[in-house]
Amino acid sequence: MPDQNDLIQQFENELKEVNDAQALDDLRVRFLGKKGLVTQEFKQLGKLSPRERPARGAELNLLKERVQEGISRRQIQLQNAQLSQPTLDRTLPGRRSQVGKLHPLVQIEERVKDIFRSMGFTVETGPEIETVYYNFTALNTPEWHPARDDADTFYFDDEKLLRTETSPVQIHVLERGKLPVRMIAPGRVYRNDKPDPTHFPVFHQVEGLYVDKGVTFADLKGTLLAFYRRFFGPETEIRFRPHYFPFTEPSAEVDASCYLCGGDGCRVCKHTGWIEMGGSGMVDPKVLEGVGVDPEVWTGYAFGLGIERTAMVWYGVDDIRLFYENDLRFLRQF
Ligand code: DAH
């Protein structure tokens, strides 16, 4: 029969080694379980004489109490240790949840659409795979025009190509035969350009077309001025520089005064005070005739604006390729 002090000593030693709830429970079973060391001592009581039994019984009860008491004590110690572990630091700032946003080019396109819609324009679309007829011929682009060149245009075959501009949407809409027409057509266009800070083989334009009785160049000027004042701010001025486009006559390039410096010259306008925005003009009578519209009755203006160009100016982005790399560090800024 082991000495009761030895058992207590053994228990206390093992208790010190216990560092988690599982080990503590294992210890409890080893001493107080059905086959536990203390339980086995109780079973020996029957073998003692009636005279010896009460004293040994009292001893064992004491032993059992000490074991139980030791286990509860250690249990509380373990619990306290766990509670004081810094599992949650309430002073840390919360984690921001990420909310998605529209791509900067989409944001610009949406603003452009909103402004023109409010001026009575419809929003149209056309196919990105076009025919030579819609992309060039119907737009009065001569056979010799460099824009038709294989080097500038992605051709699928002799007939089909990726549209190089949104202007063919003018033809699709006029072919419906419903006049007047007052529409914009935003969309992707493609050119066989090597990517550099100002070129990318795909980009976006917004085409504009207004055909009605008695439309004049003054209407074009007034509409674009109103548009740019809404877009860049009420101080904005515009100017027209004579140019050539096959489908408009006369044609002009449109500049807007710099929204940043107001015309004094700064980084955004490259110290000219003006920002090139796009092309425009009065629809060439040959284009109207080609879709069965009588140019003696109907006249119209057209314009084409670049979305990337507008976004780069407005956001101060100096490399068009950034819009297509989808680097989140770039996109999160808009
Ligand atoms: N399609 C022309 C381009 O891509 C832009 C343009 C110029 C569109 C004049 C027009 C316009 O509608 O009238 O360079």
Q: Which residue positions in the chain have pLDDT lower than 70? A: 1-2
> What pLDDT, on the 0 to 100 scale, is given for residue 90?
84
> What pLDDT, on the 0 to 100 scale, is given for residue 82?
83
Asked whether 168 lines ligand 1 (CB < 6 A), one says no
pTM equals: 0.74
Decide which of 3.30.930.10, 3.10.129.10, 1.10.1140.10, 3.30.200.20 is the CATH code for 104-331.
3.30.930.10
CA–centroid distance, residue 244 to ligand 1 (Å): 10
CA–centroid distance, residue 263 to ligand 1 (Å): 25
CA–centroid distance, residue 245 to ligand 1 (Å): 7
Residues above pLDDT 90, as percent of the chain: 88
Asked whether 245 lines ligand 1 (CB < 6 A), one says yes
> What pLDDT, on the 0 to 100 scale, is given for residue 23?
94
From the CA of 165, give the closest atom in ligand 1. Answer: 4
CATH 3.30.930.10-classified regions of the chain:
104-331
Residue 17 labelled as part of a binding site: no
Q: Nearest residue CA, atom 12 of ligand 1?
A: 303
> What pLDDT, on the 0 to 100 scale, is given for residue 96?
86
> What pLDDT, on the 0 to 100 scale, is given for residue 203?
98
Secondary structure of the chain as H, E, C letters: CCCHHHHHHHHHHHHHHCCCHHHHHHHHHHHHCCCCHHHHHHHHHHHCCCCCHHHHHHHHHHHHHHHHHHHHHHHHHHHHHHHHCCCCCCCCCCCCCCCCCCCHHHHHHHHHHHHHHHCCCEECCCCCEEEHHHHCHHHCCCCCCHHHCCCCCCECCCCEEECCCCCHHHHHHHHCCCCCEEEEEEEEEECCCCCECCECCEEEEEEEEEEECCCCHHHHHHHHHHHHHHHHCCCCCEEEEEEEECCEEEEEEEEEECCCCCCCCCCCCCCCCEEEEEEEEEECHHHHHHCCCCCCCCEEEEEEEEHHHHHHHHHCCCCCCHHHHCCHHHHCCC
Asked whether 246 lines ligand 1 (CB < 6 A), one says no
